[in-house]
Amino acid sequence: MQIIDGKKRAAELRKHYEKAVQKLKDQNIQPKMQVITVGDDPASQVYVGQKEKMAKRIGFDFDWQKLDEKSTQEELMHLIQQTNEDPSIHGVIVQLPLPDHLDSQKVMDGIDPKKDIDGFHPYNVGRLMLGDDTLVPCTPRGILNLLDEYNVTIPGADVAIIGRSKIVGQPLANLLINRGATVSVLASRTKDVKYYTKNADIVIVAVGKAHLIDKSHLKEGAVVIDVGINRLDNGKLAGDVDFESAKQVASAMTPVPGGVGPMTVAMLMEQAIICACQQNNLDATALLKEAMDE
């Protein structure tokens, strides 16, 4: 079985992104992203720290705006509007989850879609549905990048996605459909999960339940992408897939940790570069290709 190494792929991409950012700097464009957090959610602090580390490493300016947990919707929206109007900021993230008294969808709607490096704005979601996947949620984009890097055939493939969240399952289904796959999206009310997974060439699991899927769910030679990350009672991390069981039949699989997670952060950087290019009337595809060919 082949390990689909997201950590290794993300490290390779980081080197390309460093070159891409330098090309922007050579044209007097200093890319900058801003992250807004509300409150002190421990997981959010870790995630933003990871984003800050990678952003600075590839040459981005990084601004972290920390709002008090009791901040109002109006205060948050005012900060987003300031960010939208600041030409020096090319990409913005409002780190989720937000405190319960804040309307997350209103927040996503308020971000300038041209600066929406998370890919959550309704405009960008609509573009994805139409086949224009320029800015999309970063975890699905990272999964697609891994499948391509490891030469997994997508056109004509039968794919089972377990989990239909708006952040992973639904946008990933659209990305794969746009690439010619036949996709089944499974959820808690799906009557017979194994009916779909046993017939799938690619199985992608994004539920948040440790060891939900094992070899009995898979056909021989399936490619397995595990998006879940769960902490067990012994303190260790585990995916939604029982790795030791599934590896007996899978042809390729992502580990947890070190699989999809690093790719999510990498794709955030790529989309920030795309936004910086678009806001300066540059061809992002050409610039990234040139950086990757060097």
Tell me what pLDDT residue 108 has: 96
Q: What is the pLDDT of residues 240-263, one digit of tens each?
A: 999 999 999 999 999 999 999 999
Catalytic residue among 5, 34, 95, 112: 95
Tell me what pLDDT residue 172 has: 98
105 is catalytic: no
Share of the chain above pLDDT 90, in %: 94
Tens of pLDDT, residue by residue, the chain (294 residues): 999 999 999 999 999 999 999 999 999 999 999 999 999 988 889 899 999 999 999 999 999 999 999 999 999 999 999 999 999 999 999 999 999 999 999 999 999 999 999 999 999 999 999 998 899 999 999 999 999 999 999 999 999 999 999 999 999 999 999 999 999 999 989 999 999 999 999 999 999 999 999 999 999 999 999 999 998 899 888 999 999 999 999 999 999 999 999 999 999 999 999 999 999 999 999 999 999 998
3-state helix, strand and coil shares in percent for the chain, rounded to the nearest 5: 45, 15, 40
Beta strand 91-94 with 61-67 is: unpaired
Among residues 87, 78, 31, 23, which one has the least CA distance to residue 56? 31
What angle (nearest 5°) sits at the alpha carbon of residue 3, between those of residues 292 and 18? 25
Cβ neighbours of 191 (radius 10 Å): 7
95 is catalytic: yes
Catalytic residue among 5, 118, 133, 201: 118
User: What's domain 28-111's superfamily in CATH?
Assistant: Leucine Dehydrogenase, chain A, domain 1 (3.40.50.10860)
51 is catalytic: yes
Cα-Cα-Cα-Cα torsion 163, 187, 174, 168, nearest 10 degrees, comes to: -20
Go through 113-125 and write b for each residue having 16 or more CB atoms within 10 A of its CB, e for each that does not.
bbbbbbbbbeebb
Domains 28-111 and 138-260 share a fold: yes
229 is in an annotated binding site: yes
- For 149, half-sphere exposure in the C-beta direction (CA atoms, 13 angstrom radius) is 21
| Cα distances (Å, whole numbers) of residue 171 to 111, 162, 220 | 19, 13, 27
163 is in an annotated binding site: yes
pTM of the model: 0.95
Q: What is the pLDDT of residues 189-205, one digit of tens each?
A: 999 999 999 999 999 99
Tell me what pLDDT residue 294 has: 84
104 is in an annotated binding site: no
Q: Which structure tokens are listed for 227?
A: 């998006």
Domain ranges in the chain are 28-111, 138-260
164 is in an annotated binding site: yes
Rounded to whole angstroms, how far apart are CA atoms 277 and 189?
Answer: 43
* Chain centre distance of CA 184: 20
Share of the chain above pLDDT 70, in %: 100
Q: Does domain 138-260 have CATH number 1.10.150.120?
A: no
Tell me what pLDDT residue 273 has: 98
What angle (nearest 5°) sits at the alpha carbon of residue 15, between those of residues 113 and 118? 20
According to DSSP, the residues that pair with 252 across neighbouring strands are 2, 223
What angle (nearest 5°) sits at the alpha carbon of residue 75, between those of residues 73 and 81? 100
Tell me what pLDDT residue 235 has: 86
Q: What is the pLDDT of residues 151-182, one digit of tens each?
A: 999 999 999 999 999 999 999 999 999 999 99
Task: Show contacts of 226-235: CB within 8 Å, 24+ apart.
Answer: 226/253, 226/254, 226/255, 226/256, 226/259, 226/260, 227/139, 227/143, 227/163, 227/168, 227/260, 228/256, 229/256, 229/257, 229/261
Catalytic residue among 23, 51, 115, 215: 51
Tell me what pLDDT residue 206 has: 97
